[in-house]
């Protein structure tokens, strides 16, 4: 088994928040280990703190929920198994 530690540079890079704070409860209710393929509605995100663009921006309202750009996902796919599901988000910049 491999264990990976992910960390973000919060000082120099952008971080994101939900546009609608009420979506945070929806996100917490839905992350229960079940698949959401065909049921997921992408949530709207906005930049909370500007900084350098990042392929792994910090989502400050929910620790443990990684957000990756498509570029980062393409690199990471070879390191992770099929035990994940990519759920799209909408950001005004991307």
Q: Are 42 and 90 in contact (CB under 8 A)?
A: yes
Closest C-alpha among 87, 19, 9 to residue 51:
9
b/e map of 8-30 (b: 16 or more CB within 10 Å)?
beeeebbbbbbeeeeeeeeeeee
Residue 45 pLDDT more than 60? Answer: yes
Query: What pLDDT, in 10s, does the model give residues 9-33?
Result: 777 888 888 999 888 887 777 777 7
Q: How confident is the model at residue 8 (pLDDT cuts 50, 70, 90)?
A: low
Helix (H, G, I), strand (E, B) or coil at 53: coil
Q: Give the end-to-end CA distance of the chain in Å, rounded to a whole number.
A: 34
pLDDT of residue 90: 92
Share above pLDDT 70 across residues of the chain, in percent, rounded to a whole number: 89
Q: What is the pTM of this model?
A: 0.73
pLDDT digit string, tens, across residues 82-91: 778 888 899 8
Average confidence (pLDDT) over 66-92: 85
Residue 63 has pLDDT above 70, yes or no: no
Q: Determine the length of the chain.
A: 94
């Amino acid at each position: 088994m491999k264990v990976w530690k992910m960390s973000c540079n919060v000082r120099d890079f952008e971080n994101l928040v939900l546009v609608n704070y009420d979506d945070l409860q929806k996100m917490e209710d839905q992350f229960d280990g079940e698949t959401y393929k065909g049921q997921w509605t992408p949530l709207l995100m906005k930049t909370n703190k500007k900084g350098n663009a990042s392929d792994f921006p910090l989502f400050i309202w929910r620790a443990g929920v990684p957000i990756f750009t498509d570029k980062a996902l393409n690199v990471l796919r070879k390191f992770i198994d099929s035990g994940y599901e990519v759920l799209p988000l909408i950001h005004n910049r991307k």
